[in-house]
Amino acid sequence: MGDSGVTNSSPGAPVAHGFPHLETVRSAITALYRRLSADGVRTYATSLAPVDAAFADEDDLHLGAQRVARSLVQHLRLPDARMIVGFRAMEHAASVELTAGPEYFIELNDRFRTHRRDIGAALAHETTHVLLHRLGLEFPGTRANEILTDTTTAYLGTGWLLLDAFREDATSRQKLGYLTPEEFGYVLAKRAFAFDEDPSPWFTSPQAYTAYTKGRQRALDDLRRPPLTAAGWTGRRRYAKDRRYAQDHPGTAPDPSVPYAFETGAEGLRVSFPCPTCHQRIRLPVRGRVSARCGLCRTRLECDT
């Protein structure tokens, strides 16, 4: 198997913002639930504690890196995997050679010798590559697969380290990973809603906290889209109008600008929409208010169809 690595923006290079990879991120969350099951995902309901990734300047470089790597291995439930961490000059922030194991060699960029606070972030991404490799879960293409890795890292409780490595000021910029800071915030918020866990107190970077709040707002939007009863007045009104049109014009192609779609079958009109937790599509008969449960992640949904 080849190398898989985490990228980093060069100091001074502009950092991309916004949500350009959102559809791939959502597909990654769905894929994670399908591969692990709802119960499997819930075994990661508690994030890696900050103390387990802490790395002081006076710590021995190699012993400290091995300690953090062991903490990540334990958190990701890879007890029979051993991470051997080294440092060298390289283009990317880090890389790992994906082999049959049980030993995996992770190489970190030499700059982490003096930027030790971010070693945990780089190791989190590489250790997640090992987890996905063992699960046999991958997306086609390097970029999509790296987005899957970043999303998994964040959703399973170690990716807050990657967002906290984002720093931006008048003289320098740094970002680890392929997701934008706001996309990391989005995934962390999705996780927070699913497991009732707030990661914001762990951020040491003010820019990371800002990105988290923006991502959280986008994640909240997922919980407020029709036919969910939490949808706002404007969304409910648009939904009612689209529902009437679908009833009067069966077979009309769905509007791609809205997350729901109507379809007519032998049992009448049905609506399909993405689960706000795992983004698996759910189909319900159009019958007014109804409680439903997502078959994939088991989230209870209150809907007004």
pLDDT in tens, 155-176: 999 999 999 999 887 777 889 9
Residue 138 has pLDDT above 90, yes or no: yes
Residue 2 has pLDDT above 50, yes or no: no
Asked if residues 167 and 174 have their Cβ atoms less than 8 Å apart, the reply is: yes
Q: How far apart are the C-alpha atoms of 259 and 244, rounded to whole Å?
A: 17
Q: How far apart are the C-alpha atoms of 208 and 304, rounded to whole Å?
A: 36
Q: What is the DSSP letter of 171?
A: S
| pLDDT tens by residue, 78-121 | 988 889 899 999 888 888 988 777 888 999 999 999 888 899 99
pLDDT-based confidence at residue 7 (cuts at 50, 70, 90): low
**Torsion sign, CA atoms 247, 251, 253, 259:** positive
Query: Which of the two residues, 185 and 6, has the higher pLDDT score?
Result: 185
pLDDT-based confidence at residue 305 (cuts at 50, 70, 90): very high
Asked if residues 264 and 246 have their Cβ atoms less than 8 Å apart, the reply is: yes
- With residue 209 as reference, give the H or E element that holds it: helix 206-222
CA distances from 117 to 107, 145, 161, 182 (A): 16, 26, 10, 21
Asked if residues 205 and 280 have their Cβ atoms less than 8 Å apart, the reply is: no
Asked if residues 41 and 298 have their Cβ atoms less than 8 Å apart, the reply is: no
Task: List own/partner pairs for 244-247 with CB under 8 A and 24 or more apart.
Answer: none
Query: Which of the two residues, 125 and 264, has the higher pLDDT score?
Result: 125
Q: What is the mean pLDDT of residues 249-255?
A: 80
pLDDT-based confidence at residue 1 (cuts at 50, 70, 90): very low
E strands, 139-257, are 167-168, 173-174
Q: What is the mean pLDDT of residues 240-259?
A: 87
How far is residue 172 CA from its own chain's centroid?
26
Asked if residues 85 and 117 have their Cβ atoms less than 8 Å apart, the reply is: no
Instruction: Please enumerate in sequence order all residues whose Cβ is within 8 A of that of 176, keeping only pairs 6 or more positions apart, or say none.
Output: 6, 7, 8, 93, 118, 121, 122, 125, 162, 165, 166
Asked if residues 26 and 279 have their Cβ atoms less than 8 Å apart, the reply is: yes
